[in-house]
Amino acid sequence: MATATETPVPPEAGTLGDLIVPRFLRYVRIWTTSDRRVNDTPSTPGQWELAKVLVQELRDLGLSDVELSEHCYVIARIPATAGRESVPAVGFMAHLDTASDVSGKDVKPVVEKNYSGARIDLAGGLCLDPETEPDLAAHRGRDLIHSDGTTLLGADDKAGIAILMTMLEYLDRHPEIPHGPVEIIFTPDEEAGKGLAGIPLEKIRASACYTLDGGPLGELEGECFNAYKADVEFSGKAIHVGTARGILANAVAMAASYACMLPRSESPEATDGYYGYYCPMDIRGDLENARLEVFLRDFEPEGMRRRMEALEHFARAVESQFPGGTVRVNLQVQYLNMKEKIRQRPEVMELLREAFVRAGVEARLKPVRGGTDGSRLTELGIPTPNIFTGGRNYHSRLEWVSVDEMAAACRVVIELVRVWVERAWAEQT
């Protein structure tokens, strides 16, 4: 991976950074941790709070076409500049919630202006160590933001929101920049993995969209995992444990036995790049009934089929270990690889690459080892690649974000709006 310093910071990045940082600091202080065990959208009330703040800020930018849907989707439409009304609308998306892996309540962001390059000690004995993080070492002399160590930071995805809000502010301050219709969509519960449940799709006008939900400078993502969730149900046979010999089928032991069959060499911690995995996410139960939740991830449909079959084989193996017990595997798709659908609309990536060039950022195409709302929106027919935001160590207390790189991402999206209108305009005239 290229270090951040190898790519020049685009022009005006300083100014953009000054606009982005106060917004970012405001947004991360709002508690928007989502909860994947809750079925309602949004899953948590804090997401409403951020959504309402954003609606007000969008209106303060002079936008009249701003709505907050019944499921907490913020949709704002920025009209085209005069004469560009017939250009197809381009959309941008970021998510309101933060991951539940680590607390996101009472986030206290710390701004390191002109970072000294020294180890940064955080609460609870944690530290950000430039010795072990080359990207951090490369930020010596630059500005970065981290949490105090008691919570995550929430750059995933409030960096994306701050970048998009700043893009709008920039366009508002520069009415001389021609653009077509632009649509901004802020979504709830991305981290809860509900795949845009409740999105008012009929209201979306964008023919293509871009999510701002990536990592380090230059990352550009047009493919992601195929993702399934398996709820594995274990039905045992309960009886007083003093007289259980030959009768008890212990559902707790069945679930544990099943979890141990998931190959450790195909776990998230043992894989990277294009390797998929199995990941047990939750286990609970008693003697009679137990339940194990397993995430399956694979870039190729063939690999996913193999994993699904393996889960059935493990089920039969556990049944034979525990006479009288039964195991049922219930599979549910979470999102699918967006690669094929994005390939069908080549201009979506071409224009993005052109925007990177103009912004002076070297693009690095990379598979997303996860999904974004973009994967789901792509499935729904709107191709939606993902762009970096400058964050690191997501979903952890060690999360930090580079101010220069947020500014670079902002520069990319401003250029993208420009190339989008230029291309469409050239085709129409």
Rounded CA gap, 170 and 164, in Å?
Answer: 10
Task: Name the DSSP class of 50.
Answer: H
Count residues near Zn ion (CB under 5 A): 3
Of 7-15, 149-157, 297-305, 327-335: span binding Zn ion (CB under 5 A): 149-157
Residue with smaller CB distance to Zn ion, 32 or 207: 32
Cis peptide before 172 (omega within 30 of 0): no
Distance in Å, CB of 193 to Zn ion, minimum: 11
Nearer to Zn ion by Cβ, of 135 and 156: the residue is 156
| φ, ψ of residue 22 in degrees (nearest 5) | -60, -35
Q: How far is CA 388 from the centre of its chain?
A: 10
Nearer to Zn ion, 99 or 168 (CB): 99
Residues 265-304 close enough to bind Zn ion by CB under 5 A: none
> Hey, which residues between 364 and 383 contact Zn ion (CB under 5 A)?
none
Q: How many CB atoms lie within 10 A of CB 130?
A: 19
The verdict on 221 binding Zn ion (CB under 5 A) reads no
Please, what is the end-to-end C-alpha distance for the chain in angstroms? 42
Structure-derived torsion over alpha carbons of residues 122, 126, 132, 133, reported in degrees to the nearest 10 = -50
List Cα–Cα distances, 305 to 276, 296, 308, 327, in angstroms.
Answer: 12, 10, 5, 19
Closest approach, Cβ 82 to Zn ion, in A, equals 36
The window from 29-37, 130-138, 148-156, 303-311 that contacts Zn ion (CB under 5 A) reads 148-156
Smaller CB separation from Zn ion, 319 or 379: 379
Q: How far apart are CA 228 and CA 134, in angstroms?
A: 34
149/154 with CB nearer Zn ion: 154
How many Cβ atoms from other residues are within 10 Å of residue 336's Cβ?
A: 21
Listing DSSP states for 206-265 in one string gives: -SEEEEE---STTEEES-B-EEEEEEEEEE-B---GGG-TTT-B-HHHHHHHHHHHS-GG
Q: Whole-number minimum distance, CB 373 to Zn ion, in Å? A: 8
97 binds Zn ion, rule: CB under 5 A = no
CB atoms within 10 A of CB 422: 16
Q: Is 296 helix (H, G, I), strand (E, B) or coil?
A: strand
Instruction: Single out the segment in contact with Zn ion by CB under 5 A; choices: 75-83, 154-162, 249-257, 282-290.
Output: 154-162
Q: Could you give the C-alpha distances from 247 to 71, 239, 291, 328, in angstroms and in order?
A: 49, 7, 21, 20
Choices 57-65, 151-159, 250-258, 404-412; region in contact with Zn ion by CB under 5 A: 151-159
Q: How far is the CB of 93 from Zn ion (least distance, A)?
A: 11
Hey, which bits of 351-398 come out as E strands? 364-365, 386-387, 391-392
Of 354 and 373, which CB lies nearer to Zn ion in the complex structure? 373
**Residue closer to Zn ion (CB basis): 156 or 399:** 156
User: Scanning residues 161 to 220, which ones bind Zn ion (CB under 5 A)?
Assistant: 213
Stretch in the footprint of Zn ion (CB under 5 A) among 33-41, 152-160, 328-336, 399-407: 152-160
- Give Cβ neighbours of residue 177 (< 8 Å, ≥ 6 apart): 81, 171, 414, 417, 418
Our finding on whether 157 is near Zn ion (CB under 5 A) is yes
CB of 394 to Zn ion, least distance (A): 7
Query: Are 138 and 3 spatial neighbours (Cβ–Cβ below 8 Å)?
Result: yes
From candidates 156, 183, 219, 373, binder to Zn ion by CB under 5 A? 156
Residues labelled catalytic: 97, 190
Nearer to Zn ion, 211 or 250 (CB): 211
CB of 190 to Zn ion, least distance (A): 6
- Taking contact as CB under 5 A, which single stretch among the options 75-83, 101-109, 146-154, 155-163 is the one that binds Zn ion? 155-163
Which amino acid makes up residue 415? Answer: E
Q: What is the nearest approach in angstroms of Zn ion to the Cβ of residue 391? A: 9
Q: What type of residue is 213?
A: D
> At closest approach, how far in Å is the CB of 103 from Zn ion?
17
- Residues engaged in binding Zn ion (CB under 5 A): 156-157, 213
